[in-house]
Structure 1
Amino acid sequence: MTFVFGADADTSADSDTDTGADAQADAAEMCRMVEAFARRELGDVPDPFAPAEFRRRWLLAGGQGLVGSVVPTAYGGSGLDPVTAAAVLEALGHGSPDTGFAFSVAAHLFATVMPIVEFGTEEQKRRWLPALCSGERIAAHAITEPEAGSDTLALRTRAVREGDHYVLDGAKAFTTNAPVADVFVVQAATAPGGGFFGLTAFVVEADTPGLTVGPAYDKVGLRGSPTADVRLDGCVVPASHVLGAEGAGASVFAGSMKWERTCLFAAYLGAMRRVLDSTVAHVKEREQFGVPIGGFQAVSHRVVDMTLALESARLLLREAARGLARGSEDEVAPALAKLAVSEAAVRIGLDAVQLRGALGVLSGGDAETLLRDALPARIFSGTNEIQKNNIARALGLGGNRRPGGGR
């Protein structure tokens, strides 16, 4: 099943035209379907991680149009605008406790597939996008390195042109989806020391000789999302696999980050809403001193603070998504959204654990799972400190140096 909604679909409350109302109704129905699908098919986090089970789920998500939601319909996607796509991802996060799987879907879509949409040639789009949208193939973005995380312009992976191909050598770390990926977008330096124009992005097939993937990490959170190192040893990549043009790698990366910092974090909104709902139910039922603990002001105020954090984060993310839909070049809105959602997720996770008492620290509970899944959110897609640097720079503060912000 592929959902088809045009770029003019508006889920915002300020659209009072008949078309806008119809689009809102369509989007709401789609979100209900996605949430029902997530509850039915994407239950508890498989532990230990099982590649076959992951791919089974992935194909199901592809059938729902989730792994290609914002890709134009001409290439097999659903053609959703960013606002609707964010709402759909929130529904996925609300319906399933496997936030890691939702994270993998978003990393595939926003960090890898959308760069091919926005920078790929027509031949590249038709070659790779249909299978990436259907769920037949999985994508990964290989940029972070052991010595280059936030400072993405300091990549040590090299790409040397030899005739009609490039030879890539280097190592990548913390690559989401690497253990199951069929296609990689790899960033490498074609002009070491060349700054913003020294990087080039390549589309590399997973079975390319010289590309190897290490064992999956055993992570504290997002356990449903497979992550590993990637090595490139004399990896020969055709020049026709360059994404954009030689030297355009930083632009490709910046574009992917704008998508990530906006839409990816919508999955956390869904997870927070799910845990907040269960927390409200818990404090209404749990009694101490003969009354439900929700009647104690210290408890009720904490729940109100959790609600405030969630709703404030959602408003900032929605505003960033609207800007992305308009083609805005604003860097502040995505950075604010990323900051607000990631910090709210950690805070709500901590509060949910506290309000459950000893039950909150039992392994597998929804509160402690949210907290573990939320901790990485302050690091990936550019650390929260990097986001503050970006915002400060936009305000004319903190000098002119432009940081990277790796994953």
Structure 2
Amino acid sequence: MNRLSERVEKIFSQMVEWRRRFHMEPELSFREERTPARVAEILREWGIDVRTGVGGRGVVGTLTGGRPGKTVALRADMDALPIQDEKSCEYRSRVPGVMHACGHDGHMAVLLGVARLFSEMREEIPGRVRFLFQHAEEVIPGGARQMIEDGALEGVDAVYGVHLWTPLPVGVVGIKAGPLMAAADFFQIDVFGKGGHGGLPHESVDAIVIASHLILHLQTLISRQVDPLKSAVISVGTIQGGQGFNVIAERCTLTGTVRTFDPVLRDELHRRIREIAEKTCSLYGATCRVEYQWGYPAVINDTVEAHRMAGVARRIVGDDRVWEIQPVMAAEDFAYYLGKVPGAFCFVGAGNPEKNCDFPHHHPRFDFDERAMKVAAQLLLSSALTYLRDEGRREKADEPAS
């Protein structure tokens, strides 16, 4: 582990340079052009097999080790967000209204560093390492499913990923087996009433009043109809209706999100939201249209691989700096990879108030402590190597005696 730590330390300045360049030149989901081209160019410099345009905009690099063995995949995301960068620093985004406000620039820099180090120790590797640089993580549908459909996981036996995470202090790793991040779905409900004069409500069907009742009814799904030992969230994010202060609205539109971990509960909430919308509107003499979009499934870590990754983390940062965290209601399309092969995803602490690295993700002043990239790189390197070596020893032990 010390040898890997020294190798990461030697290329840390290069990772910082990559990260800052990506940060200055962000690209939105499904519009990634310069970013994947740059990633592919760097990977090819180290003799790594590269496929571009995977699933649309993704890049997949494959490195074959000097000895036979399993295949492990490591993933980084590449897209930025439609947010104006309000930081004051030399690497501030140069693209108006677009910035890396979630750490994807760091994820790319980390995985490039890991790829470089693996290329330098190619002959020591028992198996193959696949580097997944994924487009469009920030939108639904994301790029993960597209890349999988285009063969990104073919032949892969395990997959790992990390997320630089400012809610945790730098030097801490947060992980748990089982559900880690929520499934995220989207709904839009259009309420259709009957417009009229604000002074003559009895001649109208007020879509805004009906929508208000609907919002309250939706909240009782969580407070009174979901097992309190199970986690779920329904949040109405927008309500839009009406054209004037003295006009009763004929139409009102609600949009919101549903977050769950349990797939059975996820299906049930979908059914009940539609049912409550229709019956609430009917009660008040209105009609409605419900559109429901299934988003990312929940990120559910494989128990064996989560324990393996946690064990690796303890050797890197120490037992007291590896925290078993509570599940997070944010979503991640890394879930699609875990739905195909065993693996684990974890949070690498990147918060530091002394460096103004304590703003939440997706904030205009978001930044992270770049030292977190050293922990993330060691974690991906060591998790992949540990898996390949452990599985290699297991296969050898299972061979029949001659």
TM-score bracket, normalised by the shorter chain, equals under 0.3
**TM, length-normalised to structure 1:** 0.27
* Larger Rg, first or second structure (1 or 2): 2
* Structure richer in helix, relative to its length: 1
The answer to which structure, 1 or 2, has the higher relative contact order (CA under 8 A, 6+ apart) is: 2
